[in-house]
Amino acid sequence: MSAAESNSAVPASDVEMTDAKRSAIAWIDANEQWLSDFHLKIYEYAEPAWREYRSAAAYCDLLRDQGFSVEVGSGDMPTAFCATWGDGQPVVASYAEYDAVPGLSQQAVPYRAPRIGLHPGAPGHNCTHSMLGVGALTGVLAAKAAMEKHGISGTLRFFGEPAEKVCGSKPIHAAKGYYDELDAMLSYHPMSENTVVSDTHCGCYWSAVFTFECTEPEKYLQGTQVKPTSGGMDVLHAWARTPGAIDALCMMYTSTKYTKEAMFPHTGSWTMNEYVMTAGEATSDNHSPHLSQIQYSWRSPTIAIQERMYQVLAQNARAAADITGCKAYVTWVSKTRPGLPNRALAELGYANMKLFGPPAYNQEAIGFLRDVQKSLGLEAVERPMNAACEQLTPPEQFEAATQQFLPPWQKNFTSDDYTEYTWHAPTLRLYTARPGMWSTLRPPRPGYNYPDWVVVASGGVPSLVNPGMFLAGKTIAGTALDLVTNPEELKRAKAEFEERTGGGVGGTNWTAPLLSRDFVPPVDLPWPAYVTDGSGETVWHLPTPNQAGDREAIG
């Protein structure tokens, strides 16, 4: 049995509640209110991918006030940042995400109610990235306070990671060297349970935008038009036209639907989704539509599967362009690597979680969920949330539940771009419960799914958010303090990282970033956003794409 398979950090009973940890917990308890208020600020901003300007600015201002040096726009991404406090080794990091999802506009009320004054298709936080970011922030600030009080050396780093819903920033930060100095990464996400990931980490997520341009329509119809030799009416409006960019997009869409099921054998889990970004130029003239764009995002357990899926997409794009008199281009949005486990750090993180115990929810939280059930015409049960929200789930139990429907060969499942960290430093993946998410509410009958607005609404209720958010903060603070005060803990985690990678970064089993160091972030693509039009009115809009982005020709 390898060290990675048998490696065990100190048992939970041997992880101590040190004076430094007590100081961190005291700091959290004393600062809960303004941290909760800050969470609500990010929740209300609810800005979509690559357009999180106010959210990123709020984090940067707060971190500066807390004594961090802040690089704004890190990795050439306007809404990313990299904040640093302290000096020397080790360097322990965490991060915030703050992007929301278009189409999920919802107030924090127990009934369906889009946000007042905004378009109904405005964004909302379905995965509660607002809670994710502030939970991690809480842990880092608490660790900082304890390190200052007890004279503990080391460096804390906190990243602002935009556009997680398209796995946007972390592959770029990784490619541009931002993770090269890290000794450990503490990754957090709200979930249905309170636990850590031991083995089955997230898989790959790749995303690309295919652009079709019809710039020379005359070539398609060369020599086919009947024109008067002299005089007479100009018959331009009676001519046929080149199929053009909209036809190319439609052919790309339909051909991919036909070929999608044959991209890879039906074993394991993989998915592909599409989104039409730009379609034509709103013209009904005989001039051909010049531009169309469609985004594809695909998830699978391995890089090899991802590559095969892209080969089919590129083949379909070439064919669609050839048929319609267009040129085809691809602009990459993201390419993530599958996650790499670190049991030593997982066990250390869970041991710290056990020190603090599971979250507890008061009658206000329970009452909100009961009111949700009533508004949906359901019976309001006495305890609306699943029991797992108020318990700790041992990592081995969580792992067994994850693996039960996966084939034995599959080592990764679903997707999230935190996996980029796992190839640069030992990484903890931490979950805490947030009642109101999809699998945390008791269904009234088997197979019932609560509507999306419930997820978004409950994410803005402090009594539902704070217990899990502050458990995450305490767990991150406790784990970080163990790593900077106990060299053996970090040594154990690093030894496992080096074994799994065949020698650490650059080792024989190490996978390098899949994007190039000079990759241009796709921030200029037509991502949904609020903009101010010529009349001064703010509107929900899909802007015109900038065609000077980092794209390459297909074919």
AA letter at 268: G
Q: How far is CA 265 from CA 272, 299, 404, 526, 534, in A?
A: 14, 14, 20, 34, 51
Residue 115 inside a domain? The answer is yes
What is the total residue count of the chain? 555
Q: What does 421-485 look like in DSSP terms, one character per residue?
A: GGGTS-EEEEEEE-BTBTTTBPPSSTT----HHHHHHHTT-HHHHHHHHHHHHHHHHHHHHHHHH
The CATH number that applies at residue 210 is 3.30.70.360
Q: How far is CA 71 from CA 58, 61, 354, 530, in A?
A: 14, 11, 35, 25
d(CA 354, CA 10): 13
407 near 268, Cβ under 8 Å? Answer: yes
In the block, which residue shows the tokens 């269904």?
Answer: 443
Q: Burial of 253 by CB count in 10 Å (0-12 exposed, 13-18 middle, 19+ buried)?
A: middle
pLDDT, tens digit, 9 for 90 and up, residues 129-149: 999 999 999 999 999 999 999
In the block, which residue shows the tokens 């009934």?
Answer: 111
What is the pTM assigned to this prediction?
0.93
Residue 530 inside a domain? The answer is no
Residue that finishes a domain, picked among 501, 524, 541: 501
Indicate whether 93 and 238 sit together in one domain.
Answer: no
Q: Which has the closest alpha carbon to 444: 384, 394, 402?
A: 384
Residue 531 inside a domain? The answer is no
Instruction: Please compute Rg for the chain using Cα positions.
Output: 25
Indicate whether 325 and 436 sit together in one domain.
Answer: no
| 357 phi-psi bin (left φ>0, alpha ψ -120 to 50, beta other) | left
297 near 222, Cβ under 8 Å? Answer: no
Cβ count near 224 (within 10 Å): 8
Residue 507 inside a domain? The answer is no
Number of domains within the chain: 2
341 near 380, Cβ under 8 Å? Answer: no
Q: Which pLDDT score, from 0 to 100, does residue 11 have?
A: 46
In the block, which residue shows the tokens 């130029």?
Answer: 281
Q: Which has the closest alpha carbon to 553: 192, 213, 131?
A: 213
Indicate whether 90 and 170 sit together in one domain.
Answer: yes
Q: How far is CA 484 from CA 83, 150, 187, 235, 309, in A?
A: 18, 12, 17, 79, 43
Indicate whether 80 and 212 sit together in one domain.
Answer: no
Q: Which has the closest alpha carbon to 484: 58, 184, 96?
A: 184
Q: How far is CA 91 from CA 53, 186, 247, 491, in A?
A: 27, 11, 52, 13
Indicate whether 173 and 209 sit together in one domain.
Answer: no
Indicate whether 408 and 372 sit together in one domain.
Answer: yes
State the residue range of the domain holding 487.
Answer: 3-200+341-501
The CATH number that applies at residue 381 is 3.40.630.10
Indicate whether 128 and 273 sit together in one domain.
Answer: no
d(CA 326, CA 320): 8
Indicate whether 59 and 192 sit together in one domain.
Answer: yes
Residue 517 inside a domain? The answer is no
Residue 153 inside a domain? The answer is yes
Q: Which tokens hold the place of 175?
A: 């490619």
Q: What is the pLDDT along the chain (555 residues), one digit of tens a residue?
A: 354 554 444 344 478 999 999 999 999 999 999 999 999 999 999 999 999 999 999 999 999 999 999 999 999 999 999 999 999 999 999 999 999 999 999 999 999 999 998 888 899 999 999 999 999 999 999 999 999 999 999 999 999 999 999 999 999 999 999 999 999 999 999 999 999 999 999 999 999 999 999 988 888 877 665 555 555 555 556 667 788 999 999 999 999 999 988 887 777 788 999 999 888 776 677 778 899 999 999 999 999 999 999 999 999 999 999 999 999 999 999 999 999 999 999 999 999 999 999 999 999 999 999 999 999 999 999 999 999 999 999 999 999 999 998 999 999 999 999 999 999 999 999 999 999 988 899 999 988 999 999 999 999 999 999 999 999 999 999 999 999 999 999 999 999 999 999 999 999 999 999 999 999 999 988 898 887 666 666 666 654 444 445 667 877
Q: Please give the backbone phi and psi of residue 159, each rounded to the nearest 5 degrees, phi first.
A: -100, 145
Residue 536 inside a domain? The answer is no
Indicate whether 171 and 303 sit together in one domain.
Answer: no
Q: Which has the closest alpha carbon to 292: 332, 243, 244, 221?
A: 244
Indicate whether 168 and 257 sit together in one domain.
Answer: no
Q: What does 50-62 look like in DSSP terms, one character per residue?
A: T--HHHHHHHHHH
Q: 290: Cβ–Cβ under 8 A, 6 or more apart, which residues? A: 213, 214, 215, 244, 245, 280, 281
Indicate whether 374 and 250 sit together in one domain.
Answer: no
Q: 340: Cβ–Cβ under 8 A, 6 or more apart, which residues? A: 201, 419, 422, 423, 427, 497, 500, 501
Residue 544 inside a domain? The answer is no
Indicate whether 66 and 173 sit together in one domain.
Answer: yes
Element (H, E) at 328: strand 327-335
